[in-house]
Amino acid sequence: MRKLSLAAALLVGSAITAPVLADGHLQIVEGDPLELTIQMNHARYPVYEEDWPVEQKARELTNIHLKDVTVGANMRTDENTGKTEALNLMLAGGNIPDIVGSSRIKDFVNQYGPEGAFLPLNDLINEHAPNLKAYFETRPEIEAAIKAADGNMYYIPYLPDGKYGRAYWIRTDWLEKLGLEVPQTVEEFEAALRAFKTQDPNGNGEADEVPYFARQWPELIRLVTLWDGRSSGSDTYHDFYVDDGQLRHPYAGEGYREGIKNLARWYAEGLIDAEIFTRGSSARDFLLSENLGGATHDWFASTSGYNKLSSEIDGFEFKAMAPPASISGKRVEEHRRIPIKPDGWAIGGTNEHPVETIKYFDFWFTEEGRRLANFGVEGMHYDMIDGKAIFKQEFLDAGPVNRSLYQVGAQLQGRGYFQDYNYEIQWSNEFALEGIALYDEGDYLIDQFLGVAFNAEEQKVYDRYWGSIRDYMLERQQGWILGNGDVEADWDDYQAQLKKLGLDDVLAVMQSAYDRQYGG
């Protein structure tokens, strides 16, 4: 944090169209701008670009200048390490910048914050951040979710907006061709899939249709919800879930057993992609464009886009359908947008301007700041029309909107901000919007488990047992689906083995952490 020389300040000032400090109500420091160093990492933007228009605008409004000092890069895509590689590198390097923003920052700050690597934010927020304070007052569960085991908050999260993530999708043109209605129950769903397999809806004379497929094989396991089972408690696969204040693991429940038994049957009967475990991320692209795939469970936005295939495949129509009713009649969409992500930013333990920094964080929760984070710069990327931020047409036309926004420094998930779903609606296609409307008609979503922060003892127990348990669960799960063993016959042994591997201990520490965090 060096003070800029006067000359440099003038230079920066002259580069910006509007006069510096023209309207000072968001200004955090007087006079010379304050420079804060930042490390920001995300697979899509490996460093913090100082010439992003959004950063330039933020400088103009707050008089705080972020200087990029990012080391390393989170370029790998594996779930955990890949996303925090740069953080580890930064910490091992010994220099912690004033602000650290990253994907998957939560566990990281909750582990190293109490050791002194990051500043606790509670008092700073209470005293200096009215907007953040107001937000957390309205959303106490968010505040609870980001707390570390010592009760402190160490990061300001990226808070996604909107409810829906994934949905059930089906080839409605095939249904029509075979004279079927959109399935409303698990039995009808099974019948539809079987019809896809046996009645040659793609009309090529071969039974090469793949009735149910998925890009991520756990989306097959998701179907156990059709037998009242659970597959995950959050938007992370294989996660714990909360049942009436009690933490449980979905892969140890009765509904799961029933679901696996039936999914194994579906698999044996060819209703499920034979290569579900190895097809990988290109499954959707390949099976839909080859006119082979019948149904899947995938994201609204990206999946709806495949309807453009209708120009190549006659009649192609891939529409969202409401979750089929389970055997007990419940309609559940287990996946949803989680209200809070483990991504965001934190204040480095050696920051000499914590007050200014928290004020800066607070700025992004002001109306202007939130709009800046969501839509970019007014007049450049969007215009205000009837009090609403509307993207300029040329901006929408310039390619994938998400990417365009990253490129100007907006919608950065390494920044703590509150997303505005309106940004997405403006470029969602009609099939996605139609699907979302369909899901809005019912009340299919269920509560999410927002995670816990362990203390050192709990962490030790969790680390010691959980990896083995998870491996064992997945190993058996795939085995049963593939027919290597029968879930009914193996179930008691399975439960005994889970106990032996320490599932009860893991659940106990989860529970104690949960009780502490969410007030039992």
Binding site for another protein (CB under 8 A): 78-81, 84, 88, 91-92, 94, 107, 111-112, 115-117, 208, 274-275, 277-278, 280, 463-464, 466-468, 471-472, 474-475, 477-479, 482, 484
Judge residue 246's burial from the number of C-beta atoms within 10 Å of its C-beta, 0-12 exposed, 13-18 middle, 19 or more buried: exposed
d(CA 164, CA 425): 12
Q: Which is nearer to another protein, 240 or 395 (CB)?
A: 240
Tell me the two tokens of residue 409: 């420094």
In angstroms, what CA-CA distances link 286 with 147, 264, 276, 344?
Answer: 42, 24, 13, 34
Q: Which is nearer to another protein, 117 or 320 (CB)?
A: 117
Amino acid identity for residue 377 in this structure: V
Cβ 211 vs Cβ 217: under 8 Å: no
Q: Which is nearer to another protein, 475 or 486 (CB)?
A: 475
Torsion angles phi and psi, residue 501, rounded to 5 = -75, -10
Q: Minimal distance in Å, beta carbon 1 to another protein?
A: 21
Q: Which residue has the tokens 């330039």?
A: 56
Q: Which is nearer to another protein, 78 or 394 (CB)?
A: 78
d(CA 445, CA 36): 41
Tell me the two tokens of residue 252: 């140890």
Q: Minimal distance in Å, beta carbon 479 to another protein?
A: 5
Q: Which is nearer to another protein, 174 or 267 (CB)?
A: 267
Q: Minimal distance in Å, beta carbon 20 to another protein?
A: 38
Q: Minimal distance in Å, beta carbon 49 to another protein?
A: 27
Give SS3 for 497.
Answer: helix
Judge residue 270's burial from the number of C-beta atoms within 10 Å of its C-beta, 0-12 exposed, 13-18 middle, 19 or more buried: middle
Q: Minimal distance in Å, beta carbon 403 to another protein?
A: 24
Q: Which is nearer to another protein, 402 or 478 (CB)?
A: 478
Q: Which of 232, 165, 192 is nearest to 324 (CA)?
A: 192
Q: Minimal distance in Å, beta carbon 466 to another protein?
A: 8
Q: Which is nearer to another protein, 310 or 350 (CB)?
A: 350
Residue 391 contacts by C-beta under 8 Å, 6 or more apart in sequence? 375, 381, 382, 401, 423, 426, 427
Q: Which is nearer to another protein, 44 or 470 (CB)?
A: 470
Q: Minimal distance in Å, beta carbon 59 to another protein?
A: 31
d(CA 311, CA 411): 32
Q: Minimal distance in Å, beta carbon 463 to another protein?
A: 6
